[in-house]
């Protein structure tokens, strides 16, 4: 039997892998704050997801005493995390990095409902695989966030190889909405690019 590629070993053998099914949490006061502003964005369809890279250092996520700067956000269809065993149609990952290279991901669920104006901008000109495009106007990414900052927090991993662990996950509890047409457009572009849920093992999920 062949050995797993080093790129995939942690994906198979890691004990703190993401995503997970969020079923219960310990209620605790924990400091999570984020502040985003309209930013210039370049889009790419990299063959796995639609990714938006940002050209501003002023979009930040603060977890306890650590500051992380937003690098990019991308989409998964269906959602990767589950709430009580249920998927959402879409999940958005806002990927941040600290000065020391530590990663933090803010995850936002998307449900079917009212159209989202920012998604409309992002999906206006569908990109084929490996196509890139810079948006003409700064994007107000706050419109991809719910009003409530209630969240789940846990340690996890990247959801694609090398599945590196030590990632700080903040999963917002309140979803945003997108129209059925917008969800269909994302699903058509991405296919099913979600990783199955992984065992929670000994991890504790904290909610606020």
Instruction: Report the 3 state secondary structure along the chain.
Output: CCCCCHHHHHHHHCCCCCCCEECCCEECCCCEEEECCCECEEEEECCCCEEEEECCCCCEEEECCEEEEEEEEEEECCCCCEECCECCCEEEEEEEECCCCCEEEEEEEEEECCCCHHHHHHHCCCCCCCCEEECCCCECHHHHCCCCCCEEEEEEECCCCCCCEEEEEEEECCCEEECHHHHHHHHHHHCCCCCCCCCCCCCCCEEC
Q: How far apart are CA 97 and CA 167, in angstroms?
A: 10
Catalytic hit among 48, 74, 76, 93: 48
Annotated active-site residue 48? The verdict is yes
Which residues does the annotation mark as catalytic? 48
């Amino acid at each position: 039997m062949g050995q797993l590629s080093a790129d995939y070993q942690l994906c198979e053998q890691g004990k703190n892998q993401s995503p997970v099914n969020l079923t219960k949490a310990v209620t605790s006061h924990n400091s999570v704050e984020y502040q985003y502003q309209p930013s210039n964005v370049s889009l790419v369809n990299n063959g796995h997801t639609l990714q938006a890279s940002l050209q501003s250092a002023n979009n930040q996520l603060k977890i306890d005493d650590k500051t992380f700067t937003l690098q990019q956000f991308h989409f998964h269809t269906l959602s990767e995390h589950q709430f009580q065993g249920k998927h959402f149609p879409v999940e958005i990952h806002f990927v941040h990095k600290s000065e020391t290279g530590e990663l933090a991901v803010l995850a936002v669920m998307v449900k079917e409902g009212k159209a989202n104006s920012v998604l409309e901008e992002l999906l206006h000109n569908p990109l084929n695989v490996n196509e890139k495009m810079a948006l003409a106007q700064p994007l107000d990414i706050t419109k991809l966030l719910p009003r409530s900052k209630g969240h789940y927090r846990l340690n996890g991993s990247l959801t694609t190889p090398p599945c590196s662990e030590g990632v700080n996950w903040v999963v917002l509890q309140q979803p945003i909405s997108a129209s059925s047409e917008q969800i269909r457009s994302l699903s058509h572009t991405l296919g099913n690019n979600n990783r199955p849920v992984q065992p929670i093992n000994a991890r504790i999920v904290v909610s606020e």
